Structure 1
Amino acid sequence: MTEDERFEDLVDQFQYLPDVTPPGASRGFGSHALRVRGRIFAMFVRGRLVVKLPKPRVDTLVTGGHGARFDANKGTPMKEWLAVDPASPLVWTGLAREAMDFVGAAGPPKPARRRR
């Protein structure tokens, strides 16, 4: 199974959960992302699963060799975002669930952005 197919499988598993929006609902950054209550929790970028997790959890996963901090091409790795190494044995569904729970607990829904 390719990485693209793995992400599509992940989307299939999460898209019908309450408050989850599948990829394609927006354009630009985050267009390939799963959102909970308007906030991105998992996305597919440059062939890698990228998830938002608490900084200490990302630190542990990076130290364990499961990935690297995500850099959105701005030169600064993001503290709460992990780009999962394709060779990592971590189960994507578990990481995405953990990310969804973390992001979903962040407060009220994020308002939708107006398109220009």
Structure 2
Amino acid sequence: MDPDEFEHASRAVLERYPGDERGRMLHAPGLKTAGTFYAFATGDALVVKLPAARVTELIATGEGRPCEPRPGRPMRQWVCLTPAGRDAGTAYLLEAREFVTGLREREGARQ
């Protein structure tokens, strides 16, 4: 995902969720909610945090590839994607945000 597409998709999400923030993750521009990152862009990839089963599905279908900042050490629940356009990028960002906010809610309910 080129930087302009990431910027456009990010802006769409931030307009919908003005409490979310921009930040840097692994030296790359990213998005976070309540201090938790759910996406960042690096090179030509959009990297999003999703449930492990969804990550496995995206990799199996060829839509995604493991996020491996260090070769051979994939980040759990993160997947690299090359969305086909801005709308697809925005949809992945929203999916990742939904996952991260749901995790936080489930963790809060356990305490």
TM-score range relative to shorter protein:
0.7 to 0.9
Cα deviation 1:28-66 (Å, max 9, x = unaligned): 636511001111111001221000000000111111110
Structure (1 or 2) with the greater strand fraction:
2
Matches within 5 A, 1:1-116: 3-16=2-15, 17-23=17-23, 29=26, 31-73=28-70, 75-85=72-82, 91-107=88-104
Measure how far apart 1:22 and its partner are: 1.8
> What TM-score, normalized by structure 2, do the two folds share?
0.78
Measure how far apart 1:73 and its partner are: 2.3
Provide closer, same or farther for how the CA distance between residues 39 and 55 of structure 1 changes in structure 2, counting only shifts above 3 A: same
Report if the CA contact (8 A) 2:39-2:47 is conserved. Answer: yes
Unaligned runs of 5+ in 2: 106-111
CA distance in 1, matches of 2:53, 2:103: 16
Runs of at least 4 residues off by over 2 Å: 28-31, 85-88
> What TM-score, normalized by structure 1, do the two folds share?
0.75
Report if the CA contact (8 A) 2:64-2:82 is conserved. Answer: yes
Unaligned runs of 5+ in 1: 109-116
Measure how far apart 1:86 and its partner are: 5.3
Provide closer, same or farther for how the CA distance between residues 30 and 36 of structure 1 changes in structure 2, counting only shifts above 3 A: farther
CA distance in 2, matches of 1:78, 1:31: 15
Bigger relative contact order (CA 8 A; separation at least 6): 2
CA distance in 2, matches of 1:100, 1:107: 11
Is the deviation greater in 12-21 or in 75-84? 12-21
RMSD: 2.4
